[in-house]
Every structure is written in structure tokens, then in C-alpha cells.
Amino acid sequence: MPTIHSMKIPIPKDWQEFESLVRDAMILRWNSPNLQKNGRTGQAQQGVDVWGPDEIGRRVGIQCKRYKDPLVMKDVSEEVAETEKFKGKFSALFIATTTDHDSTLQAKVRQLSDQRVALGKFAVSM
């Protein structure tokens, strides 16, 4: 019998659907009904698609990447730089993506996160 981890779920048809799915999943995971989408179509989002408190009340941002091609470190770095412009302080930025897991990219993101936290900046996670 398939589990949620072994199921092949189709990529959402558009970015709006993906953002809604991510927000709804994190509301359930973090028991945080106050997570919300950032802005509306056509507005600058400063690298944040969803924001609000996590399960222990830290303000977090989520950047959703509905990609077919693999996500690369350049994409992550660009989103981190853009999120630096967000008005308000975050404890962490999460990158949610439709692409497959990539251990090399995950290691680079962990290293970036450690460097940022040491400087008093928000953490980054995939």
C-alpha cells in the first residue's frame, strides 16, 4: 500500500495551486492557522510566497518553486537575497519545490544556513 512518502503526486497545474498546497500543508504540519500568502498576482513579494508563525511561534517565510528542472544553488541564493528585502524579520526561510531531492544542493543550503545564522541572519532550509 502506498504511503504519502512513496506516492507520486502530480506537479500542481500552476504556481498559484502550488503556493496554496504548500500553505495548507504547513498550516496542518505546524498547527498554524495564521500562515498566509504574501500579496497577490502582480505585486512584488520580496522572495516570500507564504509567511507567518511556525509551530513554536517563530516568524518564517516560504518561497515556493514549481520547477520541472532541478533547482540549483544559484536559485536558492537569489531567493535568499530577495528575501533580505522583506519588511519584517524572519527566523527562517524555507524553499518548497516540486523538484526531486538533491543531497548536494541540500548540503550547500545547510552550509549557507549555518553561515547566515552565525551572522545573526535567518536560517535557510529546503
Q: What is the pLDDT of residues 66-100, one digit of tens each?
A: 888 889 999 999 999 999 999 889 999 999 998 88
Residues with Cβ within 8 Å of 124's Cβ and at least 6 positions away in sequence, in order, are 76, 80, 92, 93, 94, 95, 109, 112, 113, 116
15-125 CATH, one of 1.20.120, 3.40.1130, 2.60.40, 3.40.1350: 3.40.1350
Q: Which residue has the cell 510566497?
A: 49
Instruction: Quote the CA–CA distance of 1 and 120 in Å, as a whole number.
Output: 45
User: Rounded to two decimals, what is the model's pTM?
Assistant: 0.87
- Burial label for 115, CB within 10 Å (0-12, 13-18, 19+), is exposed
Nearest to 93 by CA among 26, 39, 15: 26
Q: Cα-atom radius of gyration of the chain, to the nearest Å?
A: 14
- Burial label for 107, CB within 10 Å (0-12, 13-18, 19+), is exposed
Q: What is the pLDDT of residues 2-49, one digit of tens each?
A: 776 676 777 778 888 889 999 999 999 999 999 999 888 777 788 899
